[in-house]
């Protein structure tokens, strides 16, 4: 039986056309973190490579930071906001279950009436969004897609948790994905390992704060008053995450290179998720990347910004001239889930 459905009229390929970033104005040095934990600046730097991070102020919301980054990406791509056909936002720190923050951001950037939705894929979220955007452009459901990674992880940081208090920062990174005449976003190698989901997690579920009766029930469950419950935070099993990231994610990164038909010698730039400097350096060593490859180490001054870390690092490399338009870059994100996504891209 012959299908009556017309073929899609998308572009033959997709590419990243523009990138933008936003870092909150407040810079938080390690010394401020040390007011809350028994540690030292030397210990934090040796364990993570982090010297400072940015924390958002009251007016720097998930939406406002995303809009700032998006405006820069739109300008960099040279398109009008009205041309955006879809907005994809990766975040774990938008605290409203619904509506998606993507719809508000789409309105604030002047995108008209695009498809708009949030995804929750932790530190791999940007890679997930990039893959979805590529599919939309090639399939033809959107000519231009705005992909955003944005986090206010300071809202989910336990300052008394010695293992994580120094890790997290806030910020937003965005890219515009649009049509291309040649391959510029390679095949994505992505997946999940749910058996390891407890290694990075939120300490408490939001429902611990529920005090109203549930439908069909006789009344509220016996729970502590909200003020007696410690606010939910992100926690992790550091050593388990480190081993997984170093050994398993290097394999994923290599697979992404192989799928794209790119060798380490062909690579210009490596932009891994900015989780930890030791993880980054170990991956570089395992992948045997040549010294000529520029490696993003934005984590030193930005901290771990989860879904925002890759586009923020990409934007800084281009802005400082450490990378240039047309460079071939390997990007890989990995984190809570545990989930991961890696691909090879041509820089805008």
Task: Kindly list the catalytic residues.
Answer: 123, 273, 304
What sign for the dihedral angle of Cα 66, 70, 71, 72? positive
3-state secondary structure of 249: helix
3-state secondary structure of 299: helix
Please tell me whether the peptide bond between 338 and the residue prior to it is cis, using omega within 30 degrees of 0. Answer: yes
Neighbour tally for 59: CB within 10 Å: 9
Contact between 148 and 90 (Cβ < 8 Å): yes
Whole-angstrom CA distances from 29 to 38, 54, 75, 312 are 15, 9, 32, 19
Please tell me whether the peptide bond between 99 and the residue prior to it is cis, using omega within 30 degrees of 0. Answer: yes
Neighbour tally for 80: CB within 10 Å: 12
Strand-pairing partners, residue 118, are 89
Task: Outline where 6-124 has alpha helix (H).
Answer: 30-33, 41-48, 62-77, 101-108
Question: Which tokens sit at 69?
Answer: 């980054």
3-state secondary structure of 315: helix
What sign for the dihedral angle of Cα 280, 285, 243, 32? negative
Task: Outline where the chain has alpha helix (H).
Answer: 30-33, 41-48, 62-77, 101-108, 125-139, 238-243, 249-260, 277-287, 299-302, 309-319
Whole-angstrom CA distances from 265 to 31, 91, 258, 331, 332 are 40, 34, 12, 16, 18
Phi-psi region at 144: left, alpha or beta (left = phi > 0; alpha = psi -120 to 50): beta
3-state secondary structure of 45: helix
């Amino acid at each position: 039986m012959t299908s009556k459905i017309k073929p899609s009229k998308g572009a033959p390929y997709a590419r990243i056309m523009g990138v933008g970033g936003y870092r909150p104005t407040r810079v938080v040095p390690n010394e401020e973190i040390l007011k809350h934990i028994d540690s030292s600046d030397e210990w934090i730097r040796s364990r993570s490579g982090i010297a400072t991070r940015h924390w958002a102020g009251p007016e720097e919301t998930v939406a406002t930071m995303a809009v700032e980054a998006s405006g820069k990406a739109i300008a960099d791509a040279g398109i009008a906001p009205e041309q955006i056909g879809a907005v994809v936002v990766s975040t774990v720190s938008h605290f409203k279950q619904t509506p998606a923050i993507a719809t508000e951001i789409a309105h604030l950037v002047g995108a008209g009436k695009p498809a708009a939705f949030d995804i929750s894929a932790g530190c791999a979220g940007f890679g997930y969004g990039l893959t979805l955007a590529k599919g939309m452009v090639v399939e033809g459901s959107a000519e231009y897609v705005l992909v955003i990674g944005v986090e206010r992880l300071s809202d989910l940081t336990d300052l008394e948790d010695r293992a994580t208090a120094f890790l997290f920062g806030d910020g937003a990174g965005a890219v515009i994905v649009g049509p291309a005449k040649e391959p510029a976003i390679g095949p994505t190698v992505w997946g999940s390992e749910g058996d390891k989901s407890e290694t990075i997690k939120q300490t408490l579920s939001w429902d611990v704060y529920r005090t109203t009766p549930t439908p069909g029930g006789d009344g509220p469950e016996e729970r502590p008053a909200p003020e007696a419950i410690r606010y939910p935070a992100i926690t992790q099993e550091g050593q388990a995450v480190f081993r997984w990231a170093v050994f398993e994610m290097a394999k994923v990164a290599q697979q992404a290179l192989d799928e794209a038909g790119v060798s380490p010698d062909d690579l210009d730039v490596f932009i891994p998720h900015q989780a930890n400097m030791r993880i980054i350096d170990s991956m570089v060593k395992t992948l045997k990347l040549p010294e000529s490859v520029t490696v993003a180490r934005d984590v030193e001054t930005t901290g771990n910004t989860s879904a925002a870390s890759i586009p923020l690092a990409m934007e800084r490399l281009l802005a400082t001239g450490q990378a240039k338009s047309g460079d071939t870059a390997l990007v890989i994100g990995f984190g809570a889930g545990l989930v991961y996504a890696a691909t090879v891209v041509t820089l805008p």
